[in-house]
Amino acid sequence: MKAIPFFSATKINTIEEYKRFYHVKSYIQSKSKDFPTTLELMNKTGYRDLNKFRRHREAFDKLGRNIPLLYLKAIKVQIETLKFCAELDMEQFKRACEIKPLYPKYGAVRYSAAFYSNIDILAGMDEENAIGLIKRFSTEKHIRCFINYPDFKTVFIEPDSKVHTVYFPPQMHFTKHWLIIGKDGKRIGKAYIK
């Protein structure tokens, strides 16, 4: 799928003190760099198309898609070390949840399905006051709004003034053949075409 910037909320908020999956990504990338993309590595991971494997490998190393365990085995990732890195990342997430106040720079409006736009928030306004400001706008215009911190959380503001927050902790789990990466909130406020 390809993003459509014109219909998307393209400006995002960040939290400088927090990087989702920092330790897990660093570990996988440190192992990956020791193995060039070759036909041998491709075959070990079950792929048959080298170009497709290159694209997917780039996403694997950035945790941008679920990772086959065959790939982790091929680049000699130790599962116990990976689980330890995940624990460190969860501790970092919990510390980030304690950061108060946050100062978002942007909110977003959902005009309709697949049609979003940004709202600039006054510099220096804390999250609580930004929510109040956007709540008045949302109620007045009868549209859903949100403040998104991709990789961390999204605060949804409904036209009936209800506010709810969805967090994106650095969660992952193993199946028989895959490392499954939890949702990250990066697609919220984006319009796509196939």
- Rounded to whole angstroms, the maximal C-alpha distance in the chain is 60
Distance CA 32, CA 46 (A): 17
Q: What is the pLDDT of residue 152?
A: 96
Distance CA 62, CA 64 (A): 5
The residue length of the chain stands at: 194
Q: Mean pLDDT, consecutive 10-residue segments, the chain of 194 residues?
A: 74 91 97 91 92 95 96 97 98 95 95 89 95 95 94 96 96 97 87 74
Q: What is the pLDDT of residue 74?
A: 96
DSSP secondary-structure letter at 5?
A: G
Q: What is the pLDDT of residue 72?
A: 97
**The pTM is what?**
0.87
Distance CA 156, CA 56 (A): 32
Q: Is 92 exposed, middle or buried (0-12, 13-18, 19+ CB in 10 A)?
A: middle
**Is residue 31 within 8 Å of 82, Cβ to Cβ?**
no
Beta-carbon contacts of 156 under 8 Å, excluding residues fewer than 6 positions away, are 144, 145, 146, 163, 164, 165, 166
Beta-carbon contacts of 48 under 8 Å, excluding residues fewer than 6 positions away, are 42
**For the chain, which residues make up each domain, given as ranges?**
2-14+100-167, 22-98
Distance CA 167, CA 111 (A): 23
Q: What is the pLDDT of residue 185?
A: 86
Q: What is the pLDDT of residue 1?
A: 64
Name the token pair of 192. 């796509």
